[in-house]
């Protein structure tokens, strides 16, 4: 489980692909706005726009594509894997985004 702001998408994607290798392909990513976790580091929970950007970045990285993050180019993963992404959603906008973007 992760939230935007806690780690760079490349670090999250790389770690999950490594764990997927170690687990024999049994990894899935849980994504959430952050709630109390990000509040503890002085941030507000992610907006749906920020979650959408995180989804796009992670999906591209898991597909072996380069991304741009915070106006900087990010190289593709060396060993990408098709990791499923699940979104912990509450409310109509979040549920709509989950249905749109959280399809593995």
Global pTM reads 0.89
| Residue range 10-46, pLDDT digits in tens | 999 999 999 999 999 999 999 988 888 888 888 898 9
Tokens of 20: 């997927």
In a domain? residue 22: yes
In a domain? residue 2: no
Q: Alpha carbon 75 to chain centroid distance?
A: 16
Check residue 2 and give its pLDDT.
86
In a domain? residue 57: yes
In a domain? residue 38: yes
In a domain? residue 1: no
Site of tokens 């906008």: 93
In a domain? residue 3: no
In a domain? residue 13: yes
Pairing of strands 72-74, 67-69: antiparallel
Give the confidence band of 104 by pLDDT, cuts at 50, 70, 90. very low
Check residue 103 and give its pLDDT.
58
Domain housing 20: 9-101
Considering its fold, how many domains does the chain have in total? Answer: 1
Site of tokens 């991304």: 67
Mean pLDDT over residues 69-93, rounded? 92
């Amino acid at each position: 489980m992760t939230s935007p702001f806690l780690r760079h998408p490349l670090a999250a994607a790389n770690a999950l692909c490594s764990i997927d290798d170690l687990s024999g392909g049994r990894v899935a990513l849980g994504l959430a706005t952050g709630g109390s976790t990000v509040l503890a580091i002085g941030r507000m929970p992610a907006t749906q726009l920020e979650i959408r950007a995180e989804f796009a970045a992670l999906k591209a990285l898991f597909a072996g594509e380069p991304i741009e993050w915070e106006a900087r180019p990010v190289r593709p993963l060396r060993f990408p894997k098709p990791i499923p992404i699940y979104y912990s959603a509450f409310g109509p906008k979040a549920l709509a985004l989950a249905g749109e973007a959280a399809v593995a």
